[in-house]
Amino acid sequence: MQMFVGTGVALVTPFKKDFSVDTEALTKIVNFNIEGGVEYLVVLGTTAESATLSSAEKELVIETIKTANAGRLPLVLGVGGNNTAKVIEELQTRDFTGFSAILSVSPYYNKPTQEGIYQHFKAISQASPLPIILYNVPGRTASNMLPSTVVRLANECKNVIAIKEAAGDIVQAMKLIQHKPSDFLVISGDDMVTLPMVLAGGAGVISVIGEGFPKEFSEMVRFGLQRKINEAYQLHYQLADAIDMIFEQGNPAGIKEVFKSRGLAENTVRLPLVNVNEDLANRLEKFTKNLS
C-alpha cells in the first residue's frame, strides 16, 4: 500500500468561537497540507476531537474534507472504539466512498487481554470493506497491543495492512519492523520518534506536527526514506522544540495555536479540553513566525 508511505496528517476539527464546526477553516487546512506536500489525510482521528462531535457534525467534517481534497490525496477515516459490535455496525452501514482505508484504535477503557485485542480486530477485519490500519496508543487506551498480536493479525487478516504505532517505545517499534510481513507497514504515531522509526525500516508517520508544518515535516520523512540522514536530522532538530510544545498542554490545543498563528483557524477547543496558557501560546506563535 504505497499510498501510505510517507506523511499522513491527523486533521483537526476547527471550531468557530461559538464552538460550531468551521468548514471554511477546515478547507483552508486541507489545502495548506496538500500544498505542503503531505502524502495522505486522516479524518476523524483523536486529533479531530471526534469524541466531542455529534453524528451530524462528523458527517459535515467528512463531506467538507472530501470536497476540499477533491480526490487529490488518499483519505483514511477513523472508525474504532471499545464496543466491537458498534464498530462492526458502522463498518456495515457507512458509505466509504472516497476513502482508501480506515484507522481503528485498539479498544480503550475495557483493558482487554492480547487475545481480546486480537479477536476484536479479527471481527473488524471480517466486517470491513476497506483495508485497516491498526492504531496502538497505550497512553490513551490503557493497554498495549504487543508486537506478537500485531504480527498475528498481519499474517492472518489480509486486509490489516499497517499499524500506527504510538507506544513511544522505539524498541517495540523495531521488534514490529523485524517480525512483520514484508508488505505490512509500521507507521509512527509519535512525531518525536518518527525519524528513528523510518530509519529503522518504518514507512512514515501519521502526524500532528506535520499538519502545522507540512512542508518541513513531510520533507524530513522523505529524506529519511531516501536515507539522506544528515538532511533529515537537520529538519528533525529544527522542529523538535515545536513537537514538544504542541503536546505540552494537550492535543489538539497546541496545534490549534499554530493554526491561529498562521491565520488559518481559531484556537477553539471543546471541553473537557481547554486552550493552552498565554506563555505557551506566545512561544508557539514565536516559533511559527520564525520558521515561516
Angle at 191 between CA 12 and CA 235, to 5 degrees: 110
Q: What sign does the CA torsion over 115, 120, 123, 125 have?
A: negative
CB 188 within 8 A of CB 194: yes
Determine the Cα–Cα distance for residues 100 and 231; give it in Å rounded to an integer: 31
* Cell representation of residue 24: 471554511
CB 128 within 8 A of CB 161: no
CB 172 within 8 A of CB 165: yes
R_g of the chain, CA atoms, integer Å: 18
* Catalytic residue positions, numbered: 135, 164
* Cell representation of residue 179: 517480525
